[in-house]
Protein backbone atom coordinates (compact mmCIF):
# COMPACT_ATOMS: atom_id res chain seq x y z
CA UNK A 1 0.00 0.00 0.00
CA UNK A 2 1.22 3.51 -0.86
CA UNK A 3 0.63 6.30 1.62
CA UNK A 4 -0.43 9.49 -0.11
CA UNK A 5 -2.66 11.27 2.40
CA UNK A 6 -2.02 11.51 6.14
CA UNK A 7 -4.53 12.50 8.80
CA UNK A 8 -3.40 13.96 12.14
CA UNK A 9 -5.73 14.16 15.15
CA UNK A 10 -4.70 17.08 17.32
CA UNK A 11 -2.92 20.30 16.32
CA UNK A 12 -1.11 21.06 19.56
CA UNK A 13 2.67 20.98 19.99
CA UNK A 14 3.05 17.40 18.76
CA UNK A 15 0.22 17.29 16.22
CA UNK A 16 1.21 20.53 14.51
CA UNK A 17 4.83 19.36 14.29
CA UNK A 18 3.81 16.01 12.81
CA UNK A 19 1.49 17.70 10.31
CA UNK A 20 4.25 20.13 9.28
CA UNK A 21 6.77 17.31 8.90
CA UNK A 22 4.47 15.20 6.74
CA UNK A 23 3.56 18.18 4.54
CA UNK A 24 7.22 19.14 4.12
CA UNK A 25 7.88 15.56 3.03
CA UNK A 26 5.32 15.87 0.23
CA UNK A 27 2.25 14.24 1.78
CA UNK A 28 -1.23 15.71 1.64
CA UNK A 29 -2.24 16.33 5.27
CA UNK A 30 -5.55 16.80 7.08
CA UNK A 31 -5.14 17.94 10.70
CA UNK A 32 -7.98 18.31 13.19
CA UNK A 33 -8.75 20.05 16.46
CA UNK A 34 -11.80 20.05 18.73
CA UNK A 35 -12.72 23.66 17.89
CA UNK A 36 -11.84 26.45 15.46
CA UNK A 37 -9.88 28.43 18.06
CA UNK A 38 -7.43 25.62 18.81
CA UNK A 39 -7.21 24.71 15.13
CA UNK A 40 -6.33 28.28 14.18
CA UNK A 41 -3.72 28.43 16.93
CA UNK A 42 -2.11 25.20 15.69
CA UNK A 43 -2.06 26.25 12.03
CA UNK A 44 -0.59 29.62 12.99
CA UNK A 45 2.14 27.79 14.88
CA UNK A 46 3.04 25.85 11.74
CA UNK A 47 3.11 29.04 9.67
CA UNK A 48 5.35 30.82 12.21
CA UNK A 49 7.74 27.86 12.40
CA UNK A 50 8.08 27.77 8.61
CA UNK A 51 8.54 31.56 8.52
CA UNK A 52 11.46 31.26 10.95
CA UNK A 53 13.04 28.60 8.73
CA UNK A 54 12.76 30.96 5.76
CA UNK A 55 14.36 33.77 7.77
CA UNK A 56 17.26 31.49 8.72
CA UNK A 57 17.71 30.42 5.09
CA UNK A 58 16.95 26.78 5.83
CA UNK A 59 14.01 26.64 3.40
CA UNK A 60 12.84 28.93 0.60
CA UNK A 61 9.63 30.94 0.50
CA UNK A 62 8.48 28.54 -2.22
CA UNK A 63 9.09 25.59 0.13
CA UNK A 64 7.05 27.30 2.82
CA UNK A 65 4.17 28.02 0.45
CA UNK A 66 4.22 24.46 -0.89
CA UNK A 67 4.17 22.99 2.62
CA UNK A 68 1.22 25.13 3.70
CA UNK A 69 -0.67 24.23 0.51
CA UNK A 70 -0.45 20.56 1.52
CA UNK A 71 -2.17 21.13 4.88
CA UNK A 72 -5.92 21.30 5.43
CA UNK A 73 -7.38 22.02 8.86
CA UNK A 74 -10.70 20.64 10.08
CA UNK A 75 -12.88 20.14 13.13
CA UNK A 76 -14.80 17.24 11.54
CA UNK A 77 -13.76 13.59 11.80
CA UNK A 78 -15.49 12.83 8.48
CA UNK A 79 -12.74 14.77 6.67
CA UNK A 80 -10.42 11.81 7.31
CA UNK A 81 -12.51 9.61 5.02
CA UNK A 82 -9.84 9.34 2.31
CA UNK A 83 -6.68 9.16 4.44
CA UNK A 84 -4.26 6.27 4.04
CA UNK A 85 -2.62 6.77 7.43
CA UNK A 86 -3.93 8.32 10.63
CA UNK A 87 -1.69 9.61 13.42
CA UNK A 88 -3.55 10.36 16.64
CA UNK A 89 -1.81 13.04 18.74
CA UNK A 90 -4.54 13.93 21.22
CA UNK A 91 -3.99 14.31 24.97
CA UNK A 92 -2.80 11.27 26.91
CA UNK A 93 -6.16 9.95 28.05
CA UNK A 94 -6.84 6.30 27.24
CA UNK A 95 -10.64 6.54 27.30
CA UNK A 96 -10.50 9.49 24.91
CA UNK A 97 -8.10 7.68 22.60
CA UNK A 98 -10.27 4.56 22.52
CA UNK A 99 -13.25 6.73 21.57
CA UNK A 100 -11.22 8.43 18.84
CA UNK A 101 -10.03 5.13 17.41
CA UNK A 102 -13.59 3.80 17.24
CA UNK A 103 -14.63 6.97 15.39
CA UNK A 104 -11.67 6.80 13.00
CA UNK A 105 -12.34 3.13 12.33
CA UNK A 106 -15.88 4.01 11.23
CA UNK A 107 -14.76 6.88 8.98
CA UNK A 108 -11.44 5.84 7.42
CA UNK A 109 -11.17 3.53 4.40
CA UNK A 110 -10.63 -0.15 5.13
CA UNK A 111 -7.01 -0.07 3.99
CA UNK A 112 -6.08 2.83 6.29
CA UNK A 113 -3.51 2.34 9.04
CA UNK A 114 -4.32 3.87 12.43
CA UNK A 115 -1.35 5.06 14.48
CA UNK A 116 -1.08 6.67 17.90
CA UNK A 117 1.61 9.04 19.10
CA UNK A 118 1.16 7.95 22.74
CA UNK A 119 4.37 7.86 24.74
CA UNK A 120 3.27 5.38 27.39
CA UNK A 121 -0.34 4.14 27.10
CA UNK A 122 -1.39 0.62 26.09
CA UNK A 123 -1.87 0.53 22.34
CA UNK A 124 -3.70 -2.80 22.24
CA UNK A 125 -6.49 -1.16 24.27
CA UNK A 126 -6.93 1.31 21.41
CA UNK A 127 -6.62 -1.38 18.75
CA UNK A 128 -9.47 -3.50 20.14
CA UNK A 129 -11.76 -0.47 19.96
CA UNK A 130 -11.58 -0.92 16.18
CA UNK A 131 -12.46 -3.65 13.69
CA UNK A 132 -8.93 -3.53 12.28
CA UNK A 133 -6.55 -4.31 15.17
CA UNK A 134 -4.03 -5.67 12.67
CA UNK A 135 -3.69 -2.14 11.25
CA UNK A 136 -3.17 -0.32 14.58
CA UNK A 137 0.26 0.51 16.00
CA UNK A 138 2.26 3.14 17.80
CA UNK A 139 4.01 5.91 15.86
CA UNK A 140 5.82 7.76 18.62
CA UNK A 141 7.43 10.99 17.41
CA UNK A 142 9.61 13.14 19.63
CA UNK A 143 9.28 16.86 20.26
CA UNK A 144 9.86 18.84 18.10
CA UNK A 145 8.73 16.33 15.47
CA UNK A 146 10.30 18.09 12.45
CA UNK A 147 13.72 18.13 14.16
CA UNK A 148 14.09 14.97 16.27
CA UNK A 149 15.50 12.14 14.18
CA UNK A 150 13.79 9.14 15.80
CA UNK A 151 10.45 7.47 15.14
CA UNK A 152 9.58 4.76 17.65
CA UNK A 153 7.29 2.20 16.00
CA UNK A 154 5.35 0.14 18.52
CA UNK A 155 3.96 -3.24 17.50
CA UNK A 156 1.08 -4.81 19.41
CA UNK A 157 0.37 -8.53 19.49
CA UNK A 158 -2.19 -7.98 16.70
CA UNK A 159 -0.25 -5.60 14.42
CA UNK A 160 0.63 -7.22 11.10
CA UNK A 161 4.23 -7.35 9.89
CA UNK A 162 3.11 -5.71 6.65
CA UNK A 163 1.78 -2.66 8.51
CA UNK A 164 5.04 -2.34 10.45
CA UNK A 165 7.03 -2.52 7.20
CA UNK A 166 4.84 0.15 5.55
CA UNK A 167 5.32 2.46 8.53
CA UNK A 168 9.08 1.89 8.55
CA UNK A 169 9.20 3.08 4.94
CA UNK A 170 6.93 6.00 5.84
CA UNK A 171 9.25 7.00 8.69
CA UNK A 172 12.26 6.82 6.38
CA UNK A 173 10.46 9.06 3.87
CA UNK A 174 10.23 11.66 6.67
CA UNK A 175 13.97 11.43 7.21
CA UNK A 176 13.62 9.47 10.45
CA UNK A 177 15.56 6.55 11.82
CA UNK A 178 12.99 3.98 12.97
CA UNK A 179 13.20 1.54 15.85
CA UNK A 180 10.66 -1.15 16.67
CA UNK A 181 9.42 -1.79 20.20
CA UNK A 182 6.81 -4.11 21.64
CA UNK A 183 3.64 -2.72 23.21
CA UNK A 184 4.98 -2.71 26.75
CA UNK A 185 5.01 0.19 29.24
CA UNK A 186 7.29 3.03 28.14
CA UNK A 187 8.40 1.22 24.96
CA UNK A 188 12.17 1.87 24.59
CA UNK A 189 12.91 5.54 25.12
CA UNK A 190 10.70 6.41 28.10
CA UNK A 191 11.46 3.09 29.80
CA UNK A 192 15.11 4.19 29.94
CA UNK A 193 14.75 7.99 30.03
CA UNK A 194 12.28 8.44 32.90
CA UNK A 195 14.42 6.73 35.61
CA UNK A 196 17.43 8.77 34.45
CA UNK A 197 15.50 12.05 34.65
CA UNK A 198 13.91 11.24 38.02
CA UNK A 199 17.26 10.25 39.50
CA UNK A 200 18.79 13.58 38.42
CA UNK A 201 15.88 15.41 40.07
CA UNK A 202 16.43 13.44 43.29
CA UNK A 203 20.10 14.50 43.32
CA UNK A 204 18.99 18.13 43.15
CA UNK A 205 16.22 17.57 45.73
CA UNK A 206 18.72 16.00 48.14
CA UNK A 207 21.18 18.86 47.73
CA UNK A 208 23.91 16.71 46.20
CA UNK A 209 24.71 19.49 43.72
CA UNK A 210 23.24 22.65 42.21
CA UNK A 211 21.00 22.46 39.14
CA UNK A 212 23.75 24.05 37.00
CA UNK A 213 26.40 21.61 38.22
CA UNK A 214 24.16 18.58 37.64
CA UNK A 215 23.38 19.74 34.10
CA UNK A 216 26.99 20.64 33.31
CA UNK A 217 28.26 17.36 34.74
CA UNK A 218 25.96 15.31 32.51
CA UNK A 219 26.21 17.42 29.36
CA UNK A 220 30.00 17.77 29.51
CA UNK A 221 30.90 14.53 31.28
CA UNK A 222 28.70 12.29 29.12
CA UNK A 223 28.64 14.50 26.01
CA UNK A 224 24.86 14.88 26.14
CA UNK A 225 23.46 17.87 24.21
CA UNK A 226 21.48 19.06 27.24
CA UNK A 227 21.52 18.47 30.99
CA UNK A 228 18.62 16.52 32.57
CA UNK A 229 17.03 19.40 34.49
CA UNK A 230 17.09 21.72 31.46
CA UNK A 231 15.60 18.89 29.43
CA UNK A 232 12.78 18.42 31.94
CA UNK A 233 12.00 22.13 31.62
CA UNK A 234 11.89 21.78 27.84
CA UNK A 235 9.66 18.70 27.98
CA UNK A 236 7.37 20.00 30.74
CA UNK A 237 7.24 18.80 34.33
CA UNK A 238 3.58 17.89 33.91
CA UNK A 239 4.46 15.63 30.98
CA UNK A 240 7.29 13.95 32.90
CA UNK A 241 4.99 13.42 35.89
CA UNK A 242 2.22 11.97 33.73
CA UNK A 243 4.51 9.48 31.99
CA UNK A 244 6.27 8.49 35.22
CA UNK A 245 2.98 7.98 37.06
CA UNK A 246 1.61 5.90 34.17
CA UNK A 247 4.70 3.71 34.12
CA UNK A 248 4.64 3.21 37.88
CA UNK A 249 0.95 2.29 37.70
CA UNK A 250 1.75 -0.43 35.17
CA UNK A 251 5.14 -1.66 36.42
CA UNK A 252 5.08 -0.97 40.21
CA UNK A 253 8.81 -0.32 39.92
CA UNK A 254 10.02 2.27 42.50
CA UNK A 255 12.36 3.79 39.92
CA UNK A 256 9.29 5.44 38.39
CA UNK A 257 8.01 7.08 41.60
CA UNK A 258 7.95 10.84 41.07
CA UNK A 259 10.06 12.85 43.59
CA UNK A 260 8.08 15.05 45.99
CA UNK A 261 9.70 18.14 44.45
CA UNK A 262 8.11 17.42 41.07
CA UNK A 263 4.65 17.11 42.61
CA UNK A 264 5.10 20.43 44.39
CA UNK A 265 6.37 22.20 41.26
CA UNK A 266 3.47 20.89 39.16
CA UNK A 267 1.02 22.01 41.87
CA UNK A 268 2.62 25.48 41.78
CA UNK A 269 2.32 25.65 38.00
CA UNK A 270 6.10 25.61 37.53
CA UNK A 271 6.02 23.39 34.43
CA UNK A 272 9.17 24.60 32.69
CA UNK A 273 9.65 26.75 29.62
CA UNK A 274 5.99 26.82 28.65
CA UNK A 275 5.04 28.58 31.91
CA UNK A 276 8.22 30.64 32.24
CA UNK A 277 9.50 28.79 35.31
CA UNK A 278 10.65 25.28 36.11
CA UNK A 279 14.06 24.29 37.46
CA UNK A 280 15.23 27.47 35.72
CA UNK A 281 13.55 30.86 35.32
CA UNK A 282 12.65 31.79 31.72
CA UNK A 283 10.85 35.07 32.37
The pLDDT tens digits of the residues spanning 179-238 come to 999 999 999 999 999 999 999 999 999 999 999 999 999 999 999 999 999 999 999 999
Distance, in Å, from the CA atom of 6 to the CA atom of 24, rounded to the nearest integer, reads 12
Fold (CATH) for 190-275: 1.10.1040
- pLDDT, averaged per 10 consecutive residues of the chain (283 residues), comes to 96 96 98 97 97 96 97 97 97 95 98 96 97 98 95 98 98 98 96 97 98 98 97 95 95 97 98 97 92
Q: What residues are annotated to the active site?
A: 119, 140, 152, 190
Residue of 161, 141, 137 whose CA lies nearest to 151: 141
Domain assignments of the chain as residue spans, ordered by start = 5-182, 190-275
Q: Helix, strand or coil for residue 157?
A: coil
pLDDT of residue 283: 85
Running DSSP on this structure, what letter comes out for residue 110? T
Running DSSP on this structure, what letter comes out for residue 272? B
Distance, in Å, from the CA atom of 185 to the CA atom of 122, rounded to the nearest integer, reads 7
The per-residue pLDDT for range 234-254, each reduced to its tens digit, is 999 999 999 999 999 999 999
Q: What is the CATH number of domain 5-182?
A: 3.40.50.720
Distance, in Å, from the CA atom of 181 to the CA atom of 119, rounded to the nearest integer, reads 12
Amino acid sequence: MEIKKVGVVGCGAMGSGIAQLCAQSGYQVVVSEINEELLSKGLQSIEKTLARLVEKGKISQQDKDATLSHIKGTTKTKDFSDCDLMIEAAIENLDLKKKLFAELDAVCPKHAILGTNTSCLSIIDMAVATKRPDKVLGLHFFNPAPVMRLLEIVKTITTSDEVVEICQKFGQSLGKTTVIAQDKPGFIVNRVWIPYILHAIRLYEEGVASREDIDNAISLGLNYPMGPLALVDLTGLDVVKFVADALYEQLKDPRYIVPTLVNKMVAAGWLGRKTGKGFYDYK
